[in-house]
Amino acid sequence: MKFTQDHEWLKVEGDLVIVGITEHASEQLGDVVFVELPDAGTEVSQGDEICVIESVKAASDIAAPLDGEIVEINEDLADNPGLVNEDPLGKAWFFKMKLADQSALDGFMDEAAYIEFIG
């Protein structure tokens, strides 16, 4: 698993990357009440704001961690946004994407570096 400075996790599954937010991010947000996801088939560039998460504390945008195409979204989050708090590193994944360049993953933190990053 890789991690971004924006508190997203990236897990490689074959030629796809599954993207979600970290436990640290879900704790900072508080109780999540709404998640807006991109449409499958959407081409994205790194840094594009593609998801919105609303919690009792605030609204947050999730940016595309890499260039690629969204190929699947987690429909369960629309019906149960609380999954983001219950299981941020598992059932609460946001989307799967096919990367334009798989080697771009090399620039992200591993778990030890991320733990150090959040201090």
* pLDDT at residue 44, rounded to an integer: 97
* pLDDT at residue 27, rounded to an integer: 93
* pLDDT at residue 99, rounded to an integer: 95
Which of the 8 DSSP states describes residue 89?
T
Q: How far is CA 16 from CA 1, 25, 81, in A?
A: 13, 23, 23
- Positions of the chain with pLDDT under 50: none
* pLDDT at residue 111, rounded to an integer: 95
46-59 pLDDT, tens digit each: 999 999 999 998 89
In the chain, the domains with their CATH numbers are: 2-100 (2.40.50.100)
Cα–Cα distance between 47 and 86 in angstroms, integer? 26
Helix and strand counts by DSSP (H, E) for the chain? 4, 9
